[in-house]
Amino acid sequence: MAYDPRGERDHGGQGRGGGGRDGGGGGGGGYEGMTFRGRGKRPVTDYGSTIVHWMRNRQPRFKGGYQGEMERPSPSYIVDILPPLARLSNPADSIPTKHLHASLNKNRHPVNFVRWTPEGRRLLTGSASGEFTLWNGTGFNFETIMQAHDASIRALTYSHNDEWLVSADHEGIIKYWQTNFNNVKVIQGHNDAIRDIAFSPNDSKFVTASDDSTLKIFDFAGGSEEKVLTGHGWECKSVDWHPTKGLLVSGSKDHLVKLWDPRTGRCLTTLHGHKNTITKTLFEKVRGNCLATSAREQSARVFDLRMMRDICILKGHEKDNITALVFHPIHPNLLSTAGDGPIYHYLLDEPNTPPGVATTIAPYDSPDPTTTPAQVIYPAHKIQHAHQYAVWSLDWHPLGHILASGSNDRSTAFWTRARPGDVDVNDDKWHIGEAAAEAKGTWDRRGARRHRQEEEEQEMEDEVDGLVDQKMPSKAPAFPGMPGLQLPQFGKDNTGAQPIFPGMGSAPPPPPMFGNGVPPPLPGLDPSHPPDFAKLAEMLGKAGLPPPPPIGAGQIPQIPGMLPPGLLPPPGFPGGFPPPPPGLGMGAPPFQIPGMAGGGGASENKEEPPSSGGGSIRRRGPLPSQEESLQMEQRKGKYTRAR
């Protein structure tokens, strides 16, 4: 892991550099009166050299495997760090004990889901505000944000072919996304919140779990519902599809874990063992023999599908409920769990029994595995203060070297293994707390506050730079059909500036038009008898309205049959409106009004984009729907129904 120092320009014109311990500030008088003030160090994880180093020195396993120099606990061996794929028999070397970075949005909302993109370059998070946020996978800085759903995002997953993303929200809406985040399809999957979603092994179908106590299997290509699985007595909280088999697992608020046949929709068996709401059910993806479940209690369980019984009980959460769990993508015996703040890592083949507690035997090592009680496993590593509030989601980088966590404290944290020579990792504030770390000298409250402020400023700058094309316009009321022309904002005293057309000086806007073209009659007027303008002016004065302007010197004389300026005729007015004077026809105006199609002058030959008709507020969101382009690609034979 390398560090990339970042600086901020200081236009003070001083000729001295302030090289402090934060780095980046020393040397010389700057460039034409500008110096760079150090802004700390941003951690950057560059796994390219690690992968290349391993590929250059590896050999087939029957020849001994890796032949390079093994790393030792010294900073000089950082260059010899190996990826988890090179240490298949040493899962303990991949336990993420070091905190890398905590990423925050400018507008903070709880992070409900975190998912690494298939190539591992970015991390995608779904928040309670319905937004997708992309974070850089090496520098952990902000990249972009988009309004994906109108409700809180509850589930999202990538297809196995890495070409599609499916997300679901609290209102039961399911959306299809391409890898460039074009929204190509929207379907109403459930009437209640969707809690989890999973793809089949061949990506032809996907299954959803909802608060309406049902599971639904959808055809992915057509977006149609195929089967409804009923059997749970309460809200379904989790679902997963086996990586290679036609097997589903679901967990519900009724404390039950059920296995299903997706072809027939029949419940195969029910697993008992938890005494509270099931929070997560997950198949192990490397070998596919195990199933992990967690509930709102202090323990999780691992089941063997071959024996259809629990083989491990994961303990260690003493005061918090388990809210998330995830298997390592390379090591099938490394399992991570999260609760109301802490994150624990378990090695399923090492009980790690604390002192004073009797060690239990594994069912595999007993003469009768069917009757032997499940082995109790304790954490191999604990991060007691990983987050301030509950952790809702965990996800591993595809290479297995970084773990991402999303929490109710509105932050996304990144964790990795300690580097050779890091001796104070277990004494930082995430392991022992802020007070104890400050007492030991491994954490400086004042320096951490300054560093946190600098990081937040940098995140805000990155977000502003990334949202140049996605800025939300003002939400002030506007004229219908005239985007960009706002109505006056009246205060408590009903005072406000008159709306002005761009390019028209101080000219007032035209009177509002009515649906049938005829304004409603004024109160107190009989349409069959023409009004007396003197009486009409008296009535307007009594009502507190300004009288019509008189015809004075310098004004255009009244055309016979026309009302005075500022007055609209009631229905049935004798004579109606006479034709307008020459040169004042109802054609296009001689100038271009922003937001209105057409126009005169040089803009007549230009094509105006079609108006959405939905008002003047441009929503921040994904690119326009690509359903027509998707259908065109399907007619060419692409993106058709999977085999």
Q: Is 570 helix (H, G, I), strand (E, B) or coil?
A: coil
Helix H or strand E encompassing 630 = helix 627-635
Confidence at residue 544, expressed as pLDDT on a 0 to 100 scale: 66
Is the separation of the CB atoms in 202 and 187 below 8 Å?
Answer: no
- CA 174, CA 527: separation in Å to the nearest integer? 56
The residues that bridge with 412 in the sheet, in sequence order, are: 103, 406
Confidence at residue 271, expressed as pLDDT on a 0 to 100 scale: 93
Mean pLDDT along residues 384-398: 94
pLDDT of 4 over the 80 cut: no
Confidence at residue 318, expressed as pLDDT on a 0 to 100 scale: 85
- CA 595, CA 68: separation in Å to the nearest integer? 66
What pLDDT digit, counting tens, does each position of 472-487 carry?
Answer: 444 445 545 444 455 5
What pLDDT digit, counting tens, does each position of 125-145 carry?
Answer: 999 999 999 999 998 989 999
Confidence at residue 517, expressed as pLDDT on a 0 to 100 scale: 53
- CA 617, CA 93: separation in Å to the nearest integer? 52
Q: Is 135 exposed, middle or buried (0-12, 13-18, 19+ CB in 10 A)?
A: buried
Mean pLDDT along residues 569-573: 58
Q: Which of 532, 561, 526 lies closest to 548 in space, CA to CA?
A: 532
What pLDDT digit, counting tens, does each position of 581-591 carry?
Answer: 555 544 555 55
pLDDT of 367 over the 60 cut: yes
Confidence at residue 519, expressed as pLDDT on a 0 to 100 scale: 58
> Could you identify the residue written with the tokens 């005239």?
482
Helix H or strand E encompassing 537 = helix 533-542
Confidence at residue 496, expressed as pLDDT on a 0 to 100 scale: 45
Q: Is 83 exposed, middle or buried (0-12, 13-18, 19+ CB in 10 A)?
A: middle
pLDDT of 566 over the 60 cut: no
Written as one letter, the residue type at 112 is N
> Could you identify the residue written with the tokens 């026809």?
585
Phi, psi of 603 (to 5 degrees): -90, 0
pLDDT of 532 over the 80 cut: no
Q: Dihedral, CA atoms, 514, 517, 522, 525, nearest 10 degrees?
A: -160
What pLDDT digit, counting tens, does each position of 222-254 carry?
Answer: 999 999 999 999 999 999 999 999 999 999 999
Could you tell me the pTM of the whole model? 0.68
Using CA atoms, how far residue 326 sits from 60, 257, 292, in Å, is 30, 17, 9
Confidence at residue 634, expressed as pLDDT on a 0 to 100 scale: 79
Using CA atoms, how far residue 166 sits from 150, 174, 460, in Å, is 15, 7, 29
Tokens of 445: 């409250």
Residues in contact with 160: Cβ distance below 8 Å, sequence separation at least 6, in sequence order = 199, 201, 202, 203
Percentage of residues in the chain having pLDDT higher than 70: 67
Q: Which position has the higher pLDDT, 73 or 292? A: 292
Buried/exposed code over 287-322 (b: 16+ C-beta within 10 A; e: otherwise) = eeebbbbbbbbbbbbbbbbeeebbbbbbbbbeebbb
Written as one letter, the residue type at 392 is W
498: number of Cβ within 10 Å: 9
pLDDT of 120 over the 60 cut: yes
- CA 557, CA 565: separation in Å to the nearest integer? 11
Buried/exposed code over 456-488 (b: 16+ C-beta within 10 A; e: otherwise) = eebbeebbeebbeeeeeeeeeebbeebbebbee
Written as one letter, the residue type at 53 is H
Confidence at residue 643, expressed as pLDDT on a 0 to 100 scale: 47
Q: What share of the chain is helix, strand, coil (3-state, %, to 5)?
A: 15, 30, 55
Written as one letter, the residue type at 480 is P
Confidence at residue 642, expressed as pLDDT on a 0 to 100 scale: 59
Most confident among 62-76, 356-370, 546-560 (mean pLDDT):
356-370
- CA 78, CA 60: separation in Å to the nearest integer? 24
pLDDT of 529 over the 80 cut: no
Is the separation of the CB atoms in 211 and 236 below 8 Å?
Answer: yes
What pLDDT digit, counting tens, does each position of 442-473 carry?
Answer: 777 776 667 667 777 766 666 666 555 455 44
Mean pLDDT along residues 287-308: 93
- CA 94, CA 583: separation in Å to the nearest integer? 81
Tokens of 301: 């369980």
Is the separation of the CB atoms in 486 and 478 below 8 Å?
Answer: yes
Percentage of residues in the chain having pLDDT higher than 90: 46
What pLDDT digit, counting tens, does each position of 577-619 carry?
Answer: 555 555 554 455 555 555 454 444 444 444 444 444 444 444 5
